[in-house]
C-alpha cells in the first residue's frame, strides 16, 4: 500500500502538469480518435469536391455551409450539454458524426433524382459536424469543471496535444491510403470508411469511461430570449478577442478549403527523396503531418510560457501566422522543400490554441462554461459564414486575388486584437 501511495505521489505532479484528470484524459482520448477521422478527411475535401465535379464557387459554398453549421451547432450543443450532461450529449453527437462519415463515403454512389454526387457531401456534413461542433460546449465545460482556473491553459494544452496527435497521424494515414488506392475518389472513400471506425471507437470509449458524477446541469433552453440574454451577458474581456478572432477566421475561411487544390493541382508538387516518390495528393497529407509535428512540439511549452508572460501575446502570435500563411502559400514556387518550410511555419499557429481557449472560457462563471463557449462561437462562426463563398468567387477569378485578400483581412484582425485585446481574471 505504501508503495502504491508513493507511486501515486510520484505520478501526481506529472498528471497535474498535463492536467490529465480522469475526465480530461477520457475527453483527450476521444479527441484523438475523432481527430483521426476528421483530419483524414476534412483537409482533402477541396480535392474530393473537385473530383466529383464541383466548381470553385461550389467548393467555396461548401466551406460557407460548413461554417454555417459550425455557427449554429456549438450554441445548441452547449445548451444541450449543460442540460442533459456531457456524457449523454457527447455519445449522441459521436454517433451522428460517424453516420456523417458514412454518407460522405457513399456520396459518389448516391447520385439520384438528378442531384450531383457532391450534393450529398452537404447532407453528410450536417451529421459529421455533430461531435466537432455540437460537442464543443461539452468539451470546454469538462475542462472548466475539472481544472483549477489558474491551470486552464495547461488543461486545454492536454486535450489539444491529444487532438493534435490525431491531426498529425490522420493526414499521414490518409496520404498512405490515397497513394495505395487509386484513383483518388476510391482511395478517399477508403479513408472515409476508416473515419467511421474511429468515430464509433471514440464514442464507445467516452461513453464507457467518462464519469458523469461531476457534470453540472444548467437551465433549459427558453427560446430566442436565451440567446439574447447570453449575448448581452458575454464577459467584457471576450469582445475584443471575438472581433480579432472573427476577422482572422474569416480570412482562413476564404481559402482553407482550397489548400489541397493549390498544392496538388495548381502547384502540382509531389515529393522525391530518401528513396521514395509520392504523388502531389499524398504529399499534401505529408505536409499536414509536418505542420502538426511543429504544433505538437510547441503547444505545451508555449502554454507554459503563456502562464508567465500572459495569454494575449501568445494568442496574437498564432493569429499572425494564420493571417500570413495564405499569401505565402499562393506565391510559393513549386518546390517541395519550400512547401515543407511553409507548412512547418503554419504549425506555429496551433501553439496558441490552448491559450486562446483559456482566454475564451476563463471569464465564464461556474457551471456556465458550455454556454459562454457556445455563445462565443455562435457569434464568431455566424459572421464567418460568407467567407467561403467570397473566397470561392474570388478564386474563380484569380487564386492570387483570393488568397491576398484573405491575408489582408487577417492582418486587420491581428492589429485590432493587439490594440484592444485583454488578459482575463479567471472566475472560479
Helix (H) or strand (E) holding 329: helix 311-330
Q: Is 0.85 topped by the overall pTM? A: no
Domain segments of the chain as ranges: 19-208+235-420
Specify the range with the lowest mean pLDDT, choosing from 17-21, 134-138, 420-424. 17-21
Q: What's the CATH number of domain 19-208+235-420, 3.90.25.10, 1.20.140.10, 1.20.1250.20, 1.20.1530.20? A: 1.20.1250.20
Query: To the nearest whole percent, how much of the chain has pLDDT over 90?
Result: 44
Per-residue pLDDT of 306-347, as tens digits, reads 878 888 888 999 999 999 999 999 999 999 999 999 999 999
Per-residue pLDDT of 174-203, as tens digits, reads 999 999 998 999 999 999 999 999 889 888
The CA distance from 378 to 384, in Å, is 10
Specify the range with the lowest mean pLDDT, choosing from 45-49, 51-55, 60-64, 299-303. 299-303
Residue written as grid cell 518546390 = 335
- Cβ atoms of 384 and 340 closer than 8 Å: no
Q: Exposure pattern of 355-387 as b/e (b: 16+ CB <10 Å)?
A: bbbbbbbbbbeebbbbbbbbbbbbbbbbbbbbb
Average pLDDT over all residues of the chain: 80
The CA distance from 311 to 426, in Å, is 12
What integer pLDDT is reported at residue 34 of this predicted model?
A: 80
Per-residue pLDDT of 332-388, as tens digits, reads 999 999 999 999 999 998 888 878 877 877 655 544 455 667 678 778 878 999 999
Amino acid at each position: 500500500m505504501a508503495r502504491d501511495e508513493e507511486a501515486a505521489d510520484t505520478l501526481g505532479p506529472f498528471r497535474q502538469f498535463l492536467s490529465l484528470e480522469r475526465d480530461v484524459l477520457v475527453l483527450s482520448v476521444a479527441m484523438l480518435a475523432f481527430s483521426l477521422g476528421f483530419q483524414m478527411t476534412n483537409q482533402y475535401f477541396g480535392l474530393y469536391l473537385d473530383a466529383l465535379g464541383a466548381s470553385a464557387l461550389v467548393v467555396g459554398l461548401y466551406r460557407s455551409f460548413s461554417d454555417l453549421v459550425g455557427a449554429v451547432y456549438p450554441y445548441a450543443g452547449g445548451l444541450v450539454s449543460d442540460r442533459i450532461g456531457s456524457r449523454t450529449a457527447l455519445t449522441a453527437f459521436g454517433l451522428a458524426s460517424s453516420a456523417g462519415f458514412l454518407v460522405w463515403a457513399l456520396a459518389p454512389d448516391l447520385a439520384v433524382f438528378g442531384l450531383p454526387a457532391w450534393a450529398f457531401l452537404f447532407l453528410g456534413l450536417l451529421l459529421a459536424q455533430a461531435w466537432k461542433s455540437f460537442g464543443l460546449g461539452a468539451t470546454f465545460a469538462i475542462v472548466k469543471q475539472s481544472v483549477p482556473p489558474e491551470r486552464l491553459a495547461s488543461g486545454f494544452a492536454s486535450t489539444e496535444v491529444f487532438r493534435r496527435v490525431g491531426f498529425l497521424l490522420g493526414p499521414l494515414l490518409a496520404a498512405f491510403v490515397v497513394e495505395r488506392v487509386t484513383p483518388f475518389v476510391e482511395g478517399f472513400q477508403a479513408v472515409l470508411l476508416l473515419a467511421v471506425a474511429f468515430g464509433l471507437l471514440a464514442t464507445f470509449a467516452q461513453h464507457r469511461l467518462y464519469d458523469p458524477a461531476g457534470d453540472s446541469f444548467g437551465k433549459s433552453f427558453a427560446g430566442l430570449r436565451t440567446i439574447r440574454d447570453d449575448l448581452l451577458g458575454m464577459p467584457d474581456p471576450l469582445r475584443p478577442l471575438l472581433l480579432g478572432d472573427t476577422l482572422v477566421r474569416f480570412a482562413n475561411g476564404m481559402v482553407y478549403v482550397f489548400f489541397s487544390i493549390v498544392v496538388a493541382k495548381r502547384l502540382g508538387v509531389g515529393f522525391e527523396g530518401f528513396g521514395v516518390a509520392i504523388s502531389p495528393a499524398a504529399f499534401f497529407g505529408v505536409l499536414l503531418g509536418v505542420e502538426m509535428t511543429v504544433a505538437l512540439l510547441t503547444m505545451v511549452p508555449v502554454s507554459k510560457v503563456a502562464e508567465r508572460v500572459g495569454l494575449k501575446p501568445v494568442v496574437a502570435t498564432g493569429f499572425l501566422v494564420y493571417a500570413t500563411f495564405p499569401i505565402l502559400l499562393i506565391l510559393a514556387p513549386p518546390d517541395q522543400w519550400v512547401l515543407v518550410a511553409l507548412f512547418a511555419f503554419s504549425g506555429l499557429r496551433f501553439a496558441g490554441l490552448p491559450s486562446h481557449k483559456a482566454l475564451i472560457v476563463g471569464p465564464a462563471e461556474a457551471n456556465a462554461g458550455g454556454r459562454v463557449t457556445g455563445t462565443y462561437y455562435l457569434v464568431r462562426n455566424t459572421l464567418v459564414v460568407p467567407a467561403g463563398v467570397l473566397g470561392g468567387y474570388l478564386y474563380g477569378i484569380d487564386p492570387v486575388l483570393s488568397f491576398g485578400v484573405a491575408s489582408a483581412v487577417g492582418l486587420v484582425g491581428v492589429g485590432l486584437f493587439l490594440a484592444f485585446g485583454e488578459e482575463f481574471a479567471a472566475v472560479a
